Amino acid sequence: MKLKSTLGLAIGSLLAASSFGAFAQGQGAVEAEAFAKRYFTDSVRDMSNGNLFGGSVSYFLTEDVSLGLSYGEYHDIRSDDRQDFGARGRKNVKGNLSSLDATYHFGTPGVGLRPFVSAGVGHQSLSNLTPRTGRDHTTFGNVGAGAKYYFTENVFAKASVDGMYGFDNNQAEWMAGVGFGVNFGGSTKTAAAPVAEPVPVEPVVYEEVEEVAEAVRVELDVKFDFDKADVKQDSYSDIENLAEFMKQYPQTATTVEGHTDSTGNAAYNQKLSERRAAAVRDTLVNQYGVEADRVNAVGYGKDRPVADNATNEGRAINRRVEASVEAQAQ
């Protein structure tokens, strides 16, 4: 009944542990384990070897050091003193072992292998030892070593070897066993997240871009009546606009070009085109104050038509004076 209670406690601990939402190894963690061990007795005790089944609960004082309490019950052990006591020397030995052990774990908490060493004290209680009829009590000093493998942060399997020395009878015994358990409730140290080194930022070099001045342009197109070189009244505003532009940009100069239609002979038309160009130049210089050396006048006669001279409309367009001035806007 005691074994059933012990195993029930261990299994209950495993189930309870599985219900926790946050498992973790490390300081403050609790481990619950069920184990099975082969028990090897000292030959002078006249007992056969047997098995120990039980469970343990451990508390981690640090990430590496735990303090554990275990309880197990012996099975399949018989007294072996038939030489002196005959049939009475072959009895089924019953008993239990309680231990308190401190364990040091090597390695880092987490998934993987963690070897360990342990030391502590134990109390053994046995009955049906020949020739006694009462219980035999022995206090042991325990040392052990083994390894745990953590399949996850919380579930592990264990293999161990334990040596025991009886202070009461000066007898040495040992056990080899395996176990299975869970770990929960700890606070494993989380490695600090790496701090990214600042990336050097190269200074931005702004190249001076030379601004390209925008070109501005004014064009003049003055129309004349047939066989006339007089500037018409409605053309003065256009000539004035050209003059104002040239005053705004004093570095500019222009050439006014006179033209005729195809009517008449070439020599006459050449002279007529020159008079028309001169009339516009004089208006710019004398009426609107543009410096004379900035305005040149030429005539091209009828050689550069821009419209069809076969029609009245075309000939009217060809009777003209043109000029243009271009400057870079400041």
Contact between 322 and 287 under an 8 Å Cβ cutoff? The reply is no
Q: Which two tokens stand for residue 149?
A: 């493998």
222: which DSSP letter? E
User: What is residue 88's predicted lDDT score, i.e. its pLDDT?
Assistant: 52
- From the candidate CATH numbers 3.30.505.10, 3.40.1390.20, 2.40.160.20, 2.130.10.10, the one assigned to the domain spanning 2-184: 2.40.160.20
CATH superfamily of 215-328: OmpA-like domain (3.30.1330.60)
pLDDT at 147: 94
Domain 2-184 matches domain 215-328 at the CATH topology level: no
pLDDT tens digit sequence for 106-165: 988 889 999 999 999 999 888 876 655 567 888 999 999 999 999 998 899 999 999 999
Domain ranges for the chain: 2-184, 215-328
pLDDT at 89 (0 to 100): 53
Q: How far apart are the C-alpha atoms of 270 and 113, rounded to whole Å?
A: 112
Q: Which residue numbers in the chain have pLDDT < 70?
A: 1-24, 43, 80-90, 129-134, 186-194, 206, 209-213, 330
Helix (H) / strand (E) element for 317: namely: helix 312-318
The candidate with the shortest Cα–Cα distance to 169, out of 84, 73, 40, 45, is 45
Q: Which two tokens stand for residue 191?
A: 């490695």
Label each residue of 99-166 as H, E or C: EEEEEEECCCCCCEEEEEEEEEEEEEEEECCCCCCCEEEEEEEEEEEEEEEECCCCEEEEEEEEEEEE
Q: What is the pLDDT of residue 8?
A: 52
Q: What is the pLDDT of residue 134?
A: 61
pLDDT at residue 187, as a whole number: 64
Angle, CA 153 vertex, CA 176 and CA 193 arms, to 5°:
135
Strand, coil or helix: 311: coil
10 Å Cβ neighbour count for 169? 14
In this prediction the pTM is 0.50
Q: What is the pLDDT of residue 5?
A: 54
**pLDDT at position 21:** 42
